[in-house]
Structure 1
Amino acid sequence: MDMLNAGLRRLPTWSLYILGVAIAAWVIVPGLQAIDPVRDIERGLGLWAVRVLLLSLMITPLRWVGVNALRFRRQIGLVGFGLVVVHLLSWLVLDMGLRWEQIAADLIKRWYIMIGMASFLLLIPLAVTSNDRSIRWLRKSWGRLHKLAYPAAILAVVHFIMVQKVWTAEILIYAAILAALLGARVWKFGPSRVVWG
């Protein structure tokens, strides 16, 4: 663990933003060559957004076992939010062609879109307040506000499950990871502190 933590201390936090751009490019560039580029890009970005959001929730449990990646939590969260934004834009622009009447109709008709949008809306205040000034200004309220990461991640995973329409091993893995992460927090802190703490 000491070697791992030493390596993490040497890794610059800004490198995670480069990694986030690389992930988006890794999805988009090959996706443009696919048979169904819109579907591949849209789903690929959504999948990576779910992965990164789950990773952001792992930071605290990792500390319990001796891995200290706390200094990267802000960057991981912002990368996850960025992937969610690009995923949303791929749906609005590539899939829907910015046809706002059809977009509004789909929001009402398709529950999985509404659930995904709810997750996105919950992530906005987290992204906006992911800076030192907001931490100083909000004080204890900042921690409570950032507990919105839990319902946002739940909604993101539910959105992912509903989009896939069939239960696959991959879906079960992500659902199990989320359940384990939330269960670990309840076990460690108790349900009341997890919600209000």
Structure 2
Amino acid sequence: MTRTQRVNAALRQVPSWAVYGLGALIPVYYLYLGLTGGLGVEPVNALERALGDLAIKALVVVLAVTPVRRWTGISLVMHRRALGLLAFFYVVCHLLVWALLDVQDFGRVWADIVKRPYISIGMIAFVLLLPVAATSNNLSIRKLGPVRWRRVHMLTYAIGVLGAAHYIMVQKTWEAEPLIYLAVILGLVATRLPALRREFAS
């Protein structure tokens, strides 16, 4: 058995509940840090940013599943659904911290969505993420059929780009890390362009 086969065998032994459980604990840990002074003098802002960072990293991992399998033979396909739903969970946590702990006023939340471009882009990404998360189950595959289901989940590529754009725009100055995320996401999307063209040409 090759090293890649051993890695894939080990990954198949990891139960989905463990991926969900461990992934869900990360925001809880960040919340604990915020409550105990571990996130500095502005814990709400730090928590909001930490959850946003976590969300964009999770989206990168989800987008990388197919290219990594193609280039290395290592497959995370069996955990892609869990990783995608965790990414959605992190986005929801990020949004809730911003709306409930940071802004704390629905009128201001709506005003910020309308007036601030980086928040508008983030909300567009969130809205696109809703049907992807809602159809991340076997029943939706049966109801929609494989072709329509795949097309719904191709929204993930647009979500990744919009999420990276939001991450860049939220910074007060140009920083390297958000630009790197955008470059990585655009590279991952580029690897899937031939498949996207074939999908929508059929």
TM range, smaller chain: over 0.9
Percent identity, please. Answer: 42
Structure 2: stretches of 5+ with no match in the other structure: none
Matched, 1:193 2:193: no
SS in structure 2 at match of 1:14 = helix
Give the structure 2 partner of residue 2 of structure 1: 5
Matched, 1:115 2:118: no
Alignment check: 8 A CA contact 1:147 1:195 kept: no
Count of equivalent residues:
194
Matched, 1:77 2:80: no
Matched, 1:152 2:159: yes
Give the structure 1 partner of residue 27 of structure 2: 24
Alignment check: 8 A CA contact 1:24 1:83 kept: yes
The alpha carbon displacement at 1:196 in A equals 6.0
Question: Matched residues in 1 for 2:168 and 2:199: separation?
Answer: 25
Question: Matched residues in 2 for 1:194 and 1:118: separation?
Answer: 24
The alpha carbon displacement at 1:164 in A equals 1.2
Give the structure 2 partner of residue 96 of structure 1: 103
Structure 1: stretches of 5+ with no match in the other structure: none
Matched, 1:43 2:46: no
Q: Structure 2 length normalisation: TM-score?
A: 0.90
C-alpha RMSD of matched pairs (Å)? 1.5
Question: Matched residues in 2 for 1:74 and 1:4: separation?
Answer: 19
The alpha carbon displacement at 1:26 in A equals 2.8
Summarize deviations over 1:80-122 as a string: whole Å, max 9, x none: 000000100001100111x111112111221111110100000
The alpha carbon displacement at 1:25 in A equals 2.1
Alignment check: 8 A CA contact 1:24 1:45 kept: yes
Alignment check: 8 A CA contact 1:20 1:83 kept: no
